[in-house]
Structure 1
Amino acid sequence: MTTRVLFIRHGETDWNRIKRIQGHIDIPLSTSGIEQAHKLAERLAGEAKQGARLDAIYSSDLTRAQQTAQPIADALGMLLQLREGLRERSYGAFQGHDSDEISVRFPDEYAHWQTRDPGFAPPDGESSRAFYHRVLHTIEPIVAAHPDGRIACVAHGGVLDCVYRFANNLPLDAPRSYALLNTSLNLVDFDIGVATVVSWADVRHLGGRSEDDGFRRVL
């Protein structure tokens, strides 16, 4: 039984624009991000009228994700279900800084970060390996609760990255070559533990334009 999940990255924040790492810091959407969220809600409401309804909508409990998900839930008359496990990766002491600041404040840790070692964790933060398993363990029961269903999960760029890597069997230390766009629709089918990307980085509701604020380390 196939479950289709619409993975959605939250709308733009002011920190996205300046490439400052947010992690678990609870940053709200910017004015432009709120606008993006409402455009996405309008699109999904229109699709629902054409028969493409959602069975459930889940969201990270961080404000930027909730502010993106709530307009969708309101437009479809649905209850928004929060999951802490859908949060972005915790970057610990790196949070609140951009890459240049990190290289100065934490030169040794920054050098290790650049090696893309999946076991590396910033001070008081989460390794990419621990984050990956946390995300997959959160998604698994959500998918299992909706066999043959169609649901939405509003989360973060890092969460989408984990999903894409899982579906395409990509190692965690492989450089990223795919987009993680604000308020993008990313459709993935799950069938007996196997994930298949149906479409990725769809931002037609934004006129085809959105931003990927990925750090230089993944470009």
Structure 2
Amino acid sequence: MRLLLIRHGQTPSNVRGALDTGFPGPGLTPLGHAQAEAVPTALAHESPAAIYASHLVRTQLTATPLAEALGLSLRVQPGLEEISAGALEMRSDDHAVQAYGRCLEAWMRGDLDQAMPEAPDGHAFAERFDAALGEIAGRHGSDETVAVFSHGAAIRVYTALRSDIDAEAAVELALMNTGMSVLKGDPRAGWTLEAWRAEPLGGVELLDLAAHDVTGESADDEAHEGEG
């Protein structure tokens, strides 16, 4: 099967650089809504059999225009949520962002024993995301495409851990709001990275270059935030 792993649209926390990972999370900015509205046209060449989103509000708001355009029900799937910032939640200072980025980078390189402060380690993240995608795959045929709306850090780390991308390349990957990772395969045999689109699906004109989007930056950039 093919998974279209799509990051949510811009939120106020993405603008100010806050590590905002808790439930239910913020809604979208006006730009975030525009990014979401652009998704159906950008994916007009795709024919997803189903559309899934995490429990967090921002993914559901982003997925809704595509679901409505295709006449599909939006399904909320537990386990697709963002990587928890733990004790770093809602912080935007360089120290917190660096700590978050260093942990993500360690996971991408295979060191899943590390944990965010007062949050689960990489094993727990991989297991819950595996379980969520396993449930989704179990509902669909091997020849189907499914759209899955999730989060910046979660998509980047999962792609690094479970696809055929090299770890050194993975830590350099950025994923802007409504960027997309396309994986082909299945949970048992593994996934091949078919495509990576860092910029918004609607085009670069939907980028906010002034935003401090810390969960969309590459893990390397996050880990060295404020240095230099």
Q: TM-score range by the shorter chain?
A: 0.7 to 0.9
Unaligned 5+ segments in structure 1 are 104-108
Task: Give the number of equivalent residue pairs.
Answer: 207
Aligned CA RMSD, in angstroms, stands at 3.0
Q: 1:198 to 1:97 in 2, by over 3 A?
A: same
Q: 1:218 to 1:144 in 2, by over 3 A?
A: farther
Counterpart for residue 197 of structure 1: 193
Superposition pairs for residues 44-55 of structure 1, below 5 Å?
Answer: 44=43, 46-47=44-45, 52-55=46-49
d(CA) in 2 for partners of 1:79 and 1:127? 33
Q: Which moved more, 1:74-83 or 1:199-208?
A: 199-208
Q: Percent identity?
A: 28
Match of 2:131 among 134, 137, 140: 137
Counterpart for residue 181 of structure 2: 186
Superposition pairs for residues 68-79 of structure 1, below 5 Å?
Answer: 68-79=62-73
Unaligned 5+ segments in structure 2 are none
Counterpart for residue 61 of structure 2: 67
CA deviation after TM superposition for structure 1 residue 69, in Å: 0.6
Residue type of the partner of 2:88? F
Residue type of the partner of 1:36? Q
Residue type of the partner of 2:6? I
TM-score, with structure 2 as normaliser? 0.78
Counterpart for residue 40 of structure 2: 41
d(CA) in 2 for partners of 1:102 and 1:132? 22
Q: 1:216 to 1:185 in 2, by over 3 A?
A: closer
Counterpart for residue 163 of structure 2: 167
CA contact (8 A) 1:175 1:218 kept: no
Residue type of the partner of 1:4? R
d(CA) in 2 for partners of 1:118 and 1:80? 32
d(CA) in 1 for partners of 2:37 and 2:63? 9
CA deviation after TM superposition for structure 1 residue 168, in Å: 2.3
Matched position secondary structure for 1:86: coil
TM-score, with structure 1 as normaliser? 0.81
Q: Flag the structure with larger Rg.
A: 1
